[in-house]
Amino acid sequence: MGCATSTNVVVGRKNKKRIIQESVVFVLQFRVPVQSDLQRQLKGVAPKTTIDRLTCLRNQIELVAEDTGGSAISELRTALEEYLSLLTGLIKKKNDGMEGCVEFKWRTLGDGPRAEICGTNLWMEMLIVIHMMAALALTEANSLMIPKDCYASGSGNGVRVVSTDCRRDAVDLLLKASGYLDFCVREILTQLPPDIKSKLPDDMQESVLQTLAIQALGQGTEIQLGLAVDSQKATLSVKRRIACEQVIYFTQAYHCLSSCEAVSHGCAKKLLRFIYWKFLEAKAAAYYYHGLVTDKGTEPACHVSAVCCFLAAAEILGESKKAGLSFCLAPPVTRAPPMWGVMKHLSQKIPEVAFRKSQTYGYLLEEEEKAMQCLPELPDFQLSLRPDDFELPEMAGCLSRMKSDSFA
């Protein structure tokens, strides 16, 4: 899923089953703490109760993540939030004595190479924790879009069904993830010295974090479009607006990431392919709905413009399928979901409408040959979704009593 994946491995003579995970939402790779002797490193620097709690929470996060492969989202989130509360307290107390005397180590979770990162800066540790919280939110959103009982019972045609509540909850989680990532860019990276920022992993570089925050909003808009398509109350104008907003989000994300130096490899490279795939899907949808709205006009020029939109949508839809395959094959290999929801609807409607309308208005197209050479511009709309506001938690109780605590 996104940067995180799991596939088949061979251990000795045994073939350990590896599953290529399905990716509806772009999911970040999990990191888990590496055990270290904090008692020795922080002796005389922080209260013993604080050190004990830091150690306990780091061990808990590692064990839960290892045992469940990161699927125990609620338990991991609770531990990370408490750990973040401790870090917040240490930073607010301006415990400069900790800087440089302790190594906070984390490693990637999964079957692939386990890359390790290490920092002695409390702000960097906070960045890693909030990044992990964003990864959990994205993972939970992805799981909601792939429910266990995801096919309509008795339908006989394997049509995937995701409930309205699941889709709405997934949008909320995407906004939450965007808020975490936006906070990292605005409040944490600004606290890190240049030498530390330059050594951050690809998925924690500023351009990548900004891109992830924007594309999470784009994916939330994509889900909203699916809800609108299923709603009898949503007008064509509403559907066009949502599709056009989706195009804007993914355009912004693409431009933000394409200038990043890390885009030639790893997570950034796969993310760029994901965004391009989603951008093409959004653009096909936007031209289709723009064509339907335009075709309601009575002037011949309206019909010609509409046909241009339908033909463009059909061509872009074909390109999006290639882009989706390119994303899936980029390492780490991922599996695209079967076509369902809004894209299944559009993959059927766009070619059908493009053919029918071009046949109906064929005589106009011959007269307006010049108009066919200019693709109509999509309307510009103000964006509706924003990252959720995120604030650091209150400092942990053991830190509020730091002055009265005995030191290790």
Alpha carbon of residue 212 to chain centroid: 6
Q: What is the 3-state secondary structure (H, E, C) of the chain?
A: CCCCCCCCEEECCEEECCCCCECCCCCCCCEEECCCCHHHHCCCCCEHHHHHHHHHHHHHHHHHHHHHCCCCHHHHHHHHHHHHHHHHHHHHCCCHHHCCCCCEEEEECCCCCCCEEEECCHHHHHHHHHHHHHHHHHHHHHHHCCCCCCECCCCCCCCECCCHHHHHHHHHHHHHHHHHHHHHHHHHHHHCCHHHHCCCCHHHCHHHHHHHHHHHHHHHHHHHHHHHHHCCCCCHHHHHHHHHHHHHHHHHHHHHHHCCHHHHCHHHHHHHHHHHHHHHHHHHHHHHHHHHHHCCCCCHHHHHHHHHHHHHHHHHHHHHHHHHHHHHHCCCCCECCCCCHHHHHHHHHHHHHHHHHHHHCHHHHHHCHHHHCCCCCCCCCCCCCCCCCCCCCCCCHHHHCHHHCCEC
| Paired tokens of 310 | 């339908």
Q: What pLDDT does 155 receive?
A: 45
Assess contact for 44 and 100: CB atoms under 8 A.
no
Residue type, 163: S
**For every one of its 408 residues, what pLDDT tens digit does the chain have, with 9 covering 90 and above?**
567 644 333 334 344 455 677 889 999 999 999 988 777 777 777 778 888 899 999 999 999 999 998 899 999 999 999 999 999 988 887 665 566 677 889 999 876 667 889 888 889 999 999 999 999 999 999 999 987 765 554 444 557 789 999 999 999 999 999 999 999 999 999 999 999 998 899 899 999 999 999 999 999 999 999 999 999 999 999 999 999 999 999 999 999 998 777 676 678 889 999 999 999 999 999 999 999 999 999 888 898 899 999 999 999 999 999 999 999 998 888 887 787 788 989 999 999 999 999 888 877 776 566 555 678 899 999 999 999 999 998 866 555 555 545 444
**pTM metric for this prediction:** 0.89
Between CA 357 and CA 302 the distance in angstroms is 12
**Minimal CA–CA distance to 38: which of 115, 120, 132, 93?**
120
Q: What pLDDT does 115 receive?
A: 81
Assess contact for 253 and 215: CB atoms under 8 A.
yes
Q: What is the 3-state secondary structure (H, E, C) of 343-355?
A: HHHHHHHHHHHHH
